[in-house]
């Protein structure tokens, strides 16, 4: 099993290209099931999650062609022979569950395994299923699979989510575009990934209004057509690499970065004394010395992303003062804290709140990655640590970050992958 070795090596300098958004690419791949015509996606990140979902689509009967060294995908769902999304693939990737809405909408039937993914909380699918039921689908749970059917098609409905759920919003959205009549979705996710999905569906012939607000209105259409669509920049990768010069010092330009994708993080970094400036090519971040401690509470977009909480905690470990980090989205998402403590961090966790007292310098240590974002937070911590940090179980990392050791290494970080 691979590991990443990081040795504290002083300030960073250079530029890092930001890849296409993983979460956008995965949901657009699922949306390709809604049409018989080919869907071409460009600016696709080369990640194991993308490969896994491609394998699932192929198992359903889709043709998936990888072009431009994997930077583009052409998905043809002209003939979907299999209605069952099997456990052995779905368990690897939670986003696989989002084939459910498109399959029920287009085919009138789907059998999808309950999902897997990172172990960062229960992450139930109740809201997905309740939304589909309101659209007229019949739902049964049998032997770990969701059996959904709508032999007479789906019908528009008013659906108000009790709390914001990205996955449920997107599954309901994909189902509603082919439903008869008008669907109103309230208290929906406003994430850039969700807006990008709505934009792509509209380009395929859907009629969606309100994406990016708390309410969307969808007028169902009989069919969608193919499209060529570019995946937006990955805001979580962008945010992660913004934190790198903040924690290690130096100046890095993030090519393709846009402030509106990470405004909540940019505001917090500036509050901590880090310089964030727009450039013609993206964003530039400059560490100006030891950061100041700032409090963070995760929230749905446009709030502070839960997927950047672990990275922000790494920064706060060496900040001046005491920071309070509150996690409101997922339980069990402080599993990186004990590993950071192994590096000399002072962190006290009580329920959904972590109190971090900054130290002047962390110390390298062998640590274990527990999930995708935790793994990269340990790499960031290693940039600011004295000596060598060995991050084990980095297969999590490859699900969401493309060539992290090359990108950081190009900016002067002393980092290498050890093949296991």
Which residues are annotated as part of the binding site for UDP-N-acetyl-alpha-D-glucosamine? 94, 307, 329
Is residue 118 part of the annotated active site? The answer reads yes
Q: Classify strands 296-297 and 322-326 as parallel, antiparallel or unpaired.
A: parallel
Helix axes 100-107 and 22-31, enclosed angle (nearest 10): 20
Edge-to-edge order in the sheet of strand 388-392: 366-368, 388-392, 3-7, 414-418
Catalytic residue among 30, 62, 118, 174: 118
Q: Cα(262)–Cα(276) distance, rounded to whole angstroms? A: 11
- Which residues, 6+ apart, have CB-to-CB distance to 101 below 8 Å? 30, 128, 132, 170, 171, 172, 173, 174, 175
373 three-class SS? helix
For the chain, the residue count is: 420
Contacts of 221 (CB under 8 A, 6+ apart): 177, 178, 205, 206, 207
- What residues are designated binding site for phosphoenolpyruvate? 22-23
DSSP E strand boundaries for 81-131: 84-85, 109-113
**DSSP conformation letters of 191-224:** -HHHHHHHHHHHHTT-EEE-BTBSEEEEE--S--
**Residues flagged as binding site:** 22-23, 94, 307, 329
CA distance linking residue 361 with residue 384, whole number of Å:
7
Active site members: 118
């Amino acid at each position: 099993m691979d590991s990443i070795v990081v040795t504290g090596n002083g300030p960073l300098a250079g530029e890092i290209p930001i890849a296409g958004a993983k979460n956008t690419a995965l949901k657009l791949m699922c949306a390709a099931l809604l049409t018989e015509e080919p869907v071409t996606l460009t600016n696709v990140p080369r990640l194991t999650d993308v490969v896994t979902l491609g394998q699932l689509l192929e198992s359903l009967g889709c043709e998936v062609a990888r072009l431009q060294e994997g930077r583009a995908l052409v998905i043809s769902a002209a003939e979907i022979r299999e209605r069952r999304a099997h456990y052995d693939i779905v368990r690897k990737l939670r986003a696989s569950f989002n084939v459910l809405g498109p399959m029920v909408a287009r085919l009138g039937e789907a059998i999808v395994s309950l999902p897997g993914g990172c172990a960062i909380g229960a992450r139930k699918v109740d809201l997905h299923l309740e939304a589909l039921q309101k659209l007229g689908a019949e739902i049964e749970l049998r032997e770990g699979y969701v059996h959904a059917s709508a032999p007479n098609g789906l019908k528009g409905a008013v659906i108000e989510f009790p709390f914001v759920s990205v996955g449920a919003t997107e599954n309901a959205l994909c189902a509603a575009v082919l439903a008869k009549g008008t669907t109103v979705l309230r208290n929906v996710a406003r994430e850039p990934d969700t807006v990008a999905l709505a934009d792509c569906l509209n380009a395929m012939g859907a009629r969606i209004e309100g994406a990016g607000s708390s309410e969307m209105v969808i007028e169902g259409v009989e069919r969608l057509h193919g499209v060529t669509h570019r995946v937006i920049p990955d805001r979580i990768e962008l945010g992660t690499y913004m934190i790198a010069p903040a924690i290690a010092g130096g100046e890095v330009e993030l090519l393709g970065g846009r402030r509106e994708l990470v405004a909540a993080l940019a505001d917090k970094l500036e509050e901590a004394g880090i310089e964030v400036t727009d450039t013609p090519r993206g964003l530039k971040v400059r560490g100006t010395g030891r950061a100041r401690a700032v409090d963070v509470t995760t929230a749905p977009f446009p709030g502070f992303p839960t997927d950047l909480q672990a990275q922000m905690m790494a920064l706060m470990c060496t900040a001046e003062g005491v920071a309070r980090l509150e996690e409101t989205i997922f339980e069990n998402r402080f599993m990186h804290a004990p590993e950071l403590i192994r590096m000399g961090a002072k962190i006290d966790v009580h329920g959904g709140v972590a109190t971090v007292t900054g130290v002047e310098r962390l110390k390298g240590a062998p640590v274990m990655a527990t999930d995708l974002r935790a793994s990269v937070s340990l790499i960031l911590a290693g940039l600011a640590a004295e000596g060598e940090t060995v991050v084990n179980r980095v297969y999590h990392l490859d699900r969401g970050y493309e060539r992290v050791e090359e990108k950081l290494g190009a900016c002067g970080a002393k980092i290498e992958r050890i093949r296991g």
